[in-house]
Amino acid sequence: MFNSFALKPFQYLLILMLSISLLSCEKDNTLVFITTEIISENETIVEINIPKAEGNTEAAKAINNALASYTNTALTVDSANTAHPTIEENISAFNKSYTAFKTEIGKTLLTELPSWEALIDGEIIYQNEALICIVMNSSINTGGAQGVFNMKFFNFDTETGKELETTDLITDINAFKTLVKKYYDKELETGYKESNLELNDDPFSLPDHLGFSEEGIIIFYDRLSSPANDPLEFTIPYTVANSYLKF
């Protein structure tokens, strides 16, 4: 019969090994990001700096696919075409669109056509055990007086990589909308002259996507959805908004 005292060192070793294994699994489940940097200077100028989740987990794949899709859509300037599967293919298509446009308009244009530019940038602005918030910006200039600017907040579930909508994040949408409206009105009153506002009778609505930072919830309205002539942005502190959050 084995001596029970002789088994204790083995039991301690087994517990230690299991603990290390569990910690290792937890680390393996943590999403780690690097930056994808692409610079293409041909007849056009394309600069891309976006986060990329490392590893082959389903969460990493889902996040990378969402950010790549945003990038691919931004690069697709020809309305007759749809986005290609990869970023490299869409950069090539962006160059080809410029070449075709230059050839066509060059027949009547007396001056040199300026290069098209595509600048796409992404940044992780908030991350905890449940949520990752990434802001993506794109600025596309195809020779007009102003480029086309777009900004979007992506909120991902850290475990699955699922893109979370406002209803996934907020407990009571109507109550939260009332809270946002108070900050919205205050921002208009203090930040803009009445002459700069284009008020209408449309009902107040939340922005399509919420942003999250260390300070609180970021509310952003672009030029098209803001009554001001400029984008409207403000932050609601977590001390005020925590009771509305599901995470």
pLDDT, residue 2, reads: 41
33-164 topology per CATH: Heat Shock Protein 90 (3.30.565)
pTM: 0.84
pLDDT, residue 203, reads: 84
pLDDT, residue 42, reads: 87
pLDDT, residue 114, reads: 87
- Which helix H or strand E contains 207, and what residues bound it? none
Which sign does the torsion angle of CA 64, 65, 68, 69 carry? Answer: negative
Q: Is 228 helix (H, G, I), strand (E, B) or coil?
A: strand
All residue ranges of the chain with pLDDT < 70 are: 1-29, 110, 191-201, 227-229
pLDDT, residue 146, reads: 76
Any idea where the domains of the chain sit in the sequence? 33-164, 167-244
Residue 102, CA atoms < 13 Å, CB-side half-sphere: 15
167-244 topology per CATH: Actin; Chain A, domain 4 (3.90.640)
CA distance 20 to 8: 18
